[in-house]
Amino acid sequence: MSPQIDSSRTDSSKKNSSSKDNFRDGLEKKLKLRKQQNLFRKRNTLASRQGPMIKIDGHHLINFCSNDYLGLANHPEVISAFKTCADQFGVGSGASSLVCGRSDLHLQLEEKLADKTGREAALIFPSGYMANLAVATTFSGRTDGVFLDRLAHASLVDAARLSGAKLHRYQHADHEALALVLKNSAVNEKLVLTDTVFSMDGDIAPIKELVRVCKQNNAVLAVDDAHGFAVLGKSGGGLLEEKEISAEDVPILVATFGKALGTAGAFIAADKIIIEMLIQFARTYIYTTALAPALAGATLASLEVLEKEAWRRETLSALIKHFCNSASALGLNILSSDTAIQPLMIGDSEIAVRISDKLFDAGFLISAIRPPTVPEGSARLRITLTAAHTEEQVDRLLETLGKLL
């Protein structure tokens, strides 16, 4: 007697197989299209420490695309603090900050950051992305409006969208455009979010004008000082310190540890009520494992080095001026920037990738930045300078660029 065959199960299996094939076919088409558009991203894997000289795939390269602006990622005091704190507190924090993941080191770091920024309190997050999400989703909702600079970082854009508030984008660094959209808005609460130093252009937000416009239109201003904190200002307090902007004028300050401080993580600094609101309602704080305690300890050490070694900011400032003057003399198409971020505009994505590859062959690591990270037609080489670079390394790069372009 022949065995019975369950035709319905066979048909179901075929449908599932067909569905999976269609899914994979769709993914392959998207990846193929990205390659055809010269937008395909590849990851570099370092076989060395972070620094001005790195090793990738057997190649020794001068690194001009790191955000380690002050060269602290390899500072002996920061490394020593990390090791000591790991010995004392272990590696993982073990839980969220509201359960049992917050250590004495987290408390000390929060107090240090509050003091550094001239605010009542601070709150630590595992990343700047999570900190920005916390701000928008805690302080705005469906009846409110979030107002973003057109070139705001992706984390600010995502934060605004996830908040459920009405999203408004104003022309880049145009305080008059912001004033107009704020004036015409009928939302309940108005939250303005902006970078201080824009990560792909290197220019600085017109912070004093933004403060004035927000006051006139009853809006709350929050800034992401990821690329300014520890670099700008008399003591490394960031753009707000440099421009002498008070905590009352900018109630919410976000900044990161993974750039100029050379570690990882981020923080929000504000008054006690704002911080308590974040502790009680910010989902990216409540529902995530706390920053590793050793990272908190290493960041404390970075802040101490920042105070002791002011020459690092001075060296970086001198290198920036030298690069800008020399690039201008060579006629290079560098965007106007007084910060460590010096974008060399190319325009076409394919050409940007080709030049980046040629620089790699010549011993330099500089990434080609392409859409959607930057607007269509504005592909560029994002050159970043650090205090760990030498003037001779900068001159070698400029000489090579002069020959390639």
Q: From CA 214, how far away is CA 168, in angstroms rounded? A: 14
User: What's the sign of the alpha-carbon dihedral 103, 104, 108, 114?
Assistant: positive
Catalytic residue, chosen from 116, 153, 259, 389, is 259
Token digits for 5?
């065959």
Token digits for 212?
């004035």
Count CA within 13 A, CB hemisphere, residue 132.
26
Is there a catalytic annotation at residue 336? no
Task: Tell me how crowded residue 244 is: count the other CB atoms within 10 A of its CB.
Answer: 10
3-class DSSP state for residue 33?
A: helix
Separation in Å, CA 354 to CA 25, 59, 361: 29, 18, 11
Separation in Å, CA 316 to CA 69, 303, 311, 323, 389: 8, 17, 8, 10, 8
Cβ-count burial of 288 within 10 angstroms (0-12 exposed, 13-18 middle, 19+ buried)?
A: middle
- Strand-pairing partners, residue 384, are 341
Is there a catalytic annotation at residue 259? yes
Q: From CA 405, how far away is CA 402, in angstroms rounded? A: 6
Residue 290 DSSP symbol? P
Residues 61 and 365: beta-carbon distance below 8 Å: yes
Catalytic residue, chosen from 116, 175, 190, 227, is 227
Token digits for 164?
């459920």
Radius of gyration of the chain (CA): 24
Residue 9 DSSP symbol? H
- Among residues 134, 145, 266, which one has the least CA distance to residue 214? 145
**Sheet strands side by side (includes 364-365):** 53-56, 59-63, 364-365
Catalytic residue, chosen from 97, 155, 199, 337, is 199
Is there a catalytic annotation at residue 199? yes
The three-point CA angle 125-127-131 to 5° equals: 60
Residues 117 and 269: beta-carbon distance below 8 Å: yes
Dihedral, 160, 202, 48, 72 alpha carbons, nearest 10:
-90
Residues with catalytic roles: 199, 227, 259
